[in-house]
Structure 1
Amino acid sequence: MSEIIKSHSERTLDEWLYYLESIHPSEIDMGLERIAVVAKRLAIDLSFAQVVTVAGTNGKGTTCAFIENALLMEQRSVAVYSSPHITEFNERLRINQKDVADQPLVRAFEQIEQARAEISLTYYEYTTLAALLVLMSVKPEFIILEVGLGGRLDATNIIDANIAVITTIDLDHQAFLGNTREAIGAEKAGILRPQQPAVIGDKQPPASVLSYGEQLSANLYCRGRQFTIEPQQDGNRWRWQSEQVIYELLPRPHIPQDNVATALMVLKLLAIELSNQQVITLIEQTKVAGRTEILVDGCQVMLDVGHNPLAARYLADQVKEVSAKQVHAVVGMLSDKDIVNTIKPLIPYIDHWYLCSLDVARGANAAQLREVFTEQDAKNLLSFDNVSEGYKMAKAHAGKQDLILVFGSFVTVAQVKSLYN
């Protein structure tokens, strides 16, 4: 019996995911009309929990993780829904920091398949509904929803959040969100709700975000106004301050400092009262897979899913601060990303490049990556048919005091991580 024609109750999680990839003509088909109808049929309702929805160009995953860790420190139950995953699909929904098991997802898929009837859902819409059904069964006190793309038309936006969060706004996914920060900001502001709190972590948010918040009479908590950060001890430590709370002498985080600052404002609005020492502990302990993640395998290896110019600029700052004799960069990207302006910020800090083709839908090939480099830059370029080959060559060339940087896509990082599983 083929996987496709098995009855719904006989399918494994992998078979369901294969099936979901086949039932809608587009990988991305933005809009809430389809999913809203099916959600109503399923009686989706998360009113039992405090819901935080997190949008932004970068920093969503790390902001979610910091909030999650703080809630767990306070012995509160919390679930996080995010996408995409790096290695296993189950990573997309974690409950009290444990990835969801296969069976609850399979049961949810069976319910959705029956409820959707004539309605075609994308893979992402289908899997978002599955996560919401699982959460209705588990009923955690807090639910953190990471927006997949944009905000206004993202599947997560069928839920009215108690707190909306926008981390950063920059150019990415322009084909879907627009070609300016103002246009992209307007899409991300779509997660705001009337009279509800919204935390804006971007240091210079587009006017479109602020004006929409004002139209809704949303309670805006903006970086630089309602909460601030400033360096202490010659930049070795830092202070976070809101109108009522000050945290001082905070250490340098493993995740971007800006996202810690945003998360602390969210925790304040959730009435989570943390001591100064608790915040220090959280900062020291919060690490996120695939975000400047460090492995040691003969030499240091840094894994980062960064795939747009803003992420690359942050990554360049991180590489500058690593004490390495030479830096080897293994990069693979999707063709619809801004390849030129993602690679360029890193060129001054990389000694050897390993350009890898991605054999996935929308994957760029090594020749497209090579076009970024001038003749002068191109002296230390090697091209590979896949990430595994490129990474193995980097490992062969790197000395013990060198750094290997792997970046450009979730797919790129996943393929390297699979070599260690």
Structure 2
Amino acid sequence: TKDPASDFVFIEKAKECETTLEFASENWQVTRDNKNTYRLENKNGITFAPVQADLKGLYQRKNIPAVLETVLSLRNNDLHISDQNIYNGIANTIRNTGLLGRWQELSQTPYTVCDTGHNIDGLTEIVAQLKTCTYEQLHFVIGMVNDKDVDSVLRILPKDAIYYFCKASIPRAMDEKTLAEKARVNHLHGKTFPTVAAAYQAAREAASNRDMIYIGGSTFVVAEVI
């Protein structure tokens, strides 16, 4: 995806390497239905549809075009990759790679999801997807690390969620009480817990089957629940 804040890095690197540069977001139009199926149309008339993805994050609508752009480039360099290879690869990403923690559903009752998104860009996508979910109350288990822009992230999180502030078991983890204080400044409220396990257990005990539990804020938090 094009981003004026960082495009120049890729443009200059492409010039340095004397190679071409393509921004997939300029070349593909993506539509997605409620069954996580995508239709992708290239500006040159190439179409892939329906593409079934096993990764359920809405942000995959940005990642899949980058994959297809790469595949087309490889094809142009005489590497044989069939359309069926593409469909199979996108449909089986988790099984083929072992990737975990990307809008990973841990339970259906209550609906429980974790995601390793941990910066303003990632959490913006997460918040957008949370708005598409149906629940009576959102329970948000969150921990972050000290070297991230915590305040920017906290400003965009839903104000009506119940928060469970926790600390992952790594030296870089932000103290849960410090995180809670920063959150209160941004009108987010909840309780603090010394561990991810304790926070998650409290959320499970408090949530009804009609509620939703979300766990995130840090890759290290997610790693302790999956």
TM range (shorter): 0.7 to 0.9
Point out where structure 2 has 5 or more consecutive residues left out of the alignment: none
Change (3 A) 1:278 1:402: farther
- Could you list the structure 1 runs, at least 4 aligned residues long, displaced by more than 3 angstroms after superposition: 201-205, 230-233, 242-245, 248-253, 277-288
Question: What is the CA–CA distance in structure 2 between the aligned matches of 1:376 and 1:206, rounded to whole Å?
Answer: 31
Question: What is the CA–CA distance in structure 2 between the aligned matches of 1:322 and 1:267, rounded to whole Å?
Answer: 33
The offset of 1:278, in angstroms, is: 5.8
Q: TM-score, normalised by structure 2?
A: 0.80
Residues 282-361 of structure 1: pairs in structure 2 closer than 5 A? 282-287=89-94, 288-296=99-107, 298-348=109-159, 350-361=160-171
Task: Report the counterpart of residue 390 of structure 1 in structure 2.
Answer: 199
Task: Report the counterpart of residue 231 of structure 1 in structure 2.
Answer: 31
The offset of 1:374, in angstroms, is: 3.9
Cα deviation digits, residues 346-373 of structure 1 (max 9, x gap): 224x521000023321110112211333
Secondary structure of 1:270 counterpart:
helix
The offset of 1:411, in angstroms, is: 1.6
Residues 183-222 of structure 1: pairs in structure 2 closer than 5 A? 201-202=1-2, 204=4, 205-222=6-23
Letter in 1 for 2:69: M
**8 Å CA contact retained: 1:232, 1:249:** no
Question: What is the CA–CA distance in structure 2 between the aligned matches of 1:375 and 1:212, rounded to whole Å?
Answer: 41
**8 Å CA contact retained: 1:299, 1:398:** yes
Say whether 1:274 aligns with 2:85: no
Point out where structure 1 has 5 or more consecutive residues left out of the alignment: 1-200
Aligned length: 213
Larger RCO (CA under 8 A, 6+ residues apart): 2
Secondary structure of 1:347 counterpart:
coil
Cα deviation digits, residues 157-188 of structure 1 (max 9, x gap): xxxxxxxxxxxxxxxxxxxxxxxxxxxxxxxx
Change (3 A) 1:351 1:240: same
Question: What is the CA–CA distance in structure 1 between the aligned matches of 2:184 and 2:108, rounded to whole Å?
Answer: 32
Task: Report the counterpart of residue 223 of structure 2 in structure 1.
Answer: 414
Letter in 2 for 1:411: F
Change (3 A) 1:330 1:283: same
Question: What is the CA–CA distance in structure 1 between the aligned matches of 2:61 and 2:167, rounded to whole Å?
Answer: 32
CA RMSD of aligned residues (A): 2.9
Structure possessing the higher radius of gyration over alpha carbons: 1
Matched-pair identity in %: 20
Residues 159-178 of structure 1: pairs in structure 2 closer than 5 A? none
Question: What is the CA–CA distance in structure 2 between the aligned matches of 1:388 and 1:406, rounded to whole Å?
Answer: 11
Question: What is the CA–CA distance in structure 2 between the aligned matches of 1:382 and 1:414, rounded to whole Å?
Answer: 21
Task: Report the counterpart of residue 240 of structure 1 in structure 2.
Answer: 41
**8 Å CA contact retained: 1:328, 1:353:** yes
